[in-house]
Amino acid sequence: MNNITYLNKLNDPVLIELDNAIDKKSSKKMIAFKYFNNDMDLLNSYLKNSEYSTNVSINPIRPKAQLEFTF
């Protein structure tokens, strides 16, 4: 018996928290603890069934070049 309740994707608190997170890895651990009784496999299957993409390769923070003074 499957005991996962699928919510509307727009109002899903799991997906909203994960979208708003900066550190995805630690946020996934916290969400697994909060909603899935600390079961990461259950969270991953939930994200897979809801077609949520966690493979984001865009880094929003770009390092700036160091300022160098010429004397």
Segment 16-53, tens digit of pLDDT = 888 888 888 899 999 999 999 999 999 989 988 887 76
**pLDDT for position 3:** 61
What's the whole-number average pLDDT of the chain?
A: 77
Does residue 56 surpass a pLDDT of 80?
Answer: no
CA distance 30 to 24: 10
CA distance 23 to 42: 20
What is the phi/psi pair of residue 4, to 5°? -90, 130
List the chain domain ranges: 1-53
Q: Provide the whole-model pTM.
A: 0.59
